[in-house]
């Protein structure tokens, strides 16, 4: 059973220490990882996959091949130990020989094959294990829209050792018929997903201005922890700049360059995301929610909410509840 984290607690005094902003982003996107199986293959083979419909990631446990994503300038060579993640909704091909006549993925895996291991071609010199990530329908865009078409972590990368340990444990759990194996495998796969994202960020890949870049920026981290940890406080620009060890002007300029919006606009946007979630999942009066989010009156909160979302909070609650 999935238990959602209490983003806006009924009793803020009972809240624990705030998570880092990147963890907040992952939790708010409600990323859940599901092991979706894999396949072994041999000879000259090629599989054509439709647009995934969700974030998918794969680990090459044995052998090598090629990954060809529609819209990418050239195929990617894959070797044992490589891990790749596909956020983009594009068709792609996997194969030992991309010139071979492709087999459609649906004929290999079918609509209801669970998380078993399938066979493609002749032999088993290639072995791949896959998983997919389900995001919150309303807030998953916070993560999905800011990732590149493909993230490829090579087996030679500095972060690969940790990934390989997780993969080894995942394979063991996937193969074992032990109590809790399914949950253990899902947790390992989720940690693998987070480590892939972390490896991408550590590699210094350029990120567009936005939530993810801000959430992983070391200079902004102290200020973001304050805003995420106590969103109902009337934070002043000077306080946030001091936490980040910058002047007000430098902080404001740097924050906007990284996040795409000014600091206090970011705080308002974060409050509104919290308000949307609370209106969906809690029955607290709008006046109480306004108070917890730092607004002096229900009307001030309602005006801010409508300015950001296009509808008032009461109407929003009625819409999502219907």
| Contact of 133 with 193, CB cutoff 8 Å | yes
| Enclosing H/E stretch for 214 | helix 211-215
117-121 and 32-42 as β-strands: parallel, antiparallel, unpaired? parallel
Sign of CA dihedral 250, 255, 261, 267: negative
What percentage of the chain reaches a pLDDT higher than 70?
A: 90
Q: What is the pLDDT of residues 67-105, one digit of tens each?
A: 999 999 999 999 999 999 998 789 999 999 999 999 999
CATH at 221: 1.10.10.60
Q: What is the pLDDT of residues 28-53, one digit of tens each?
A: 788 888 887 889 999 999 999 999 88
Confidence check: pLDDT of 17 > 60: no
Confidence check: pLDDT of 62 > 90: yes
3 lies in a domain? no
162-178 mean pLDDT = 84
**Does residue 171 sit in the same domain as residue 220?**
no
Phi-psi region of 273 (alpha: psi -120 to 50; beta: other; left: phi over 0): alpha
Place of tokens 């993969």: 167
Confidence check: pLDDT of 303 > 90: yes
Average pLDDT, the chain: 85
CA distance 96 to 122: 12
**Does residue 266 sit in the same domain as residue 121?**
no
Residue 176 confidence (pLDDT): 74
- Work out the number of other CB atoms within 10 angstroms of the CB of residue 137: 8
Domain span including residue 181: 31-202
pLDDT greater at residue 100 or residue 144: 100
Confidence check: pLDDT of 190 > 70: yes
**Does residue 220 sit in the same domain as residue 180?**
no
Confidence check: pLDDT of 141 > 80: no
| Total count of domains within the chain | 2
What six digits make up the tokens of 165?
A: 């340990």
7 lies in a domain? no
152 lies in a domain? yes
For the beta sheet containing 65-69, the strands, ordered from the edge strand earlier in sequence to the opposite edge, are: 76-78, 65-69, 92-95, 46-49, 103-104
231 lies in a domain? yes
Residue 204 confidence (pLDDT): 65
**Does residue 157 sit in the same domain as residue 187?**
yes
**Does residue 264 sit in the same domain as residue 182?**
no
Residue 112 confidence (pLDDT): 54
- Work out the number of other CB atoms within 10 angstroms of the CB of residue 10: 11
- At residue 9 the predicted structure's pLDDT band, cuts being 50, 70 and 90, is very low
Place of tokens 């806006």: 8
Among 146, 177, 202, the domain-final residue is: 202
CA distance 79 to 60: 7
Sign of CA dihedral 296, 302, 303, 307: positive
**Does residue 192 sit in the same domain as residue 56?**
yes
What percentage of the chain reaches a pLDDT higher than 90?
A: 49
**Does residue 17 sit in the same domain as residue 51?**
no
């Amino acid at each position: 059973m999935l238990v959602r984290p209490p983003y806006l607690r009924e009793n803020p005094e009972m809240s624990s220490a705030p998570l880092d902003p990147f963890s907040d982003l992952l939790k708010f996107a409600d990323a859940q990882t599901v092991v979706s199986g894999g396949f072994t293959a041999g000879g000259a083979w090629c599989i054509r996959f439709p647009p995934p419909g969700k974030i998918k990631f794969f680990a090459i446990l044995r052998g090598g091949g090629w990954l060809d994503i529609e819209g990418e300038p050239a195929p990617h060579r894959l070797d044992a130990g490589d891990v790749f993640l596909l956020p983009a909704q594009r068709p792609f091909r996997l194969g030992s020989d991309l010139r071979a006549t492709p087999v459609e993925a649906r004929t290999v895996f079918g609509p209801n094959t669970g998380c078993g291991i399938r066979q493609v071609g002749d032999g088993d010199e290639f072995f791949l294990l896959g998983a997919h990530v389900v995001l919150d329908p309303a807030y998953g865009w916070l993560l999905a829209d800011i990732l590149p078409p493909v993230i490829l972590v090579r087996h030679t990368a500095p972060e690969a050792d940790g990934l390989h340990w997780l993969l080894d444990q995942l394979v063991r759990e996937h193969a074992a018929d032990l109590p809790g194996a399914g949950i253990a495998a899902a947790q390992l796969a989720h940690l693998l997903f987070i480590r892939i994202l972390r490896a991408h960020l550590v590699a210094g890949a350029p990120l567009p201005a936005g939530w993810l870049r801000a959430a992983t920026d070391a200079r902004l981290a102290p200020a973001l922890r304050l805003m995420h940890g106590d969103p109902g406080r009337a934070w002043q620009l000077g306080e946030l700049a001091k936490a980040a060890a910058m002047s007000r002007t430098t902080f404001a300029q740097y924050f906007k360059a990284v996040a795409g919006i000014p600091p206090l606009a970011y705080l308002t946007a974060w409050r509104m995301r919290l308000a949307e979630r609370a209106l969906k999942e809690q029955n607290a009066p709008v006046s109480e929610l306004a108070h917890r989010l730092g607004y002096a009156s229900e009307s001030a909160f309602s005006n801010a909410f409508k300015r950001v979302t296009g509808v008032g909070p009461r109407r929003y609650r009625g819409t999502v509840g219907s």
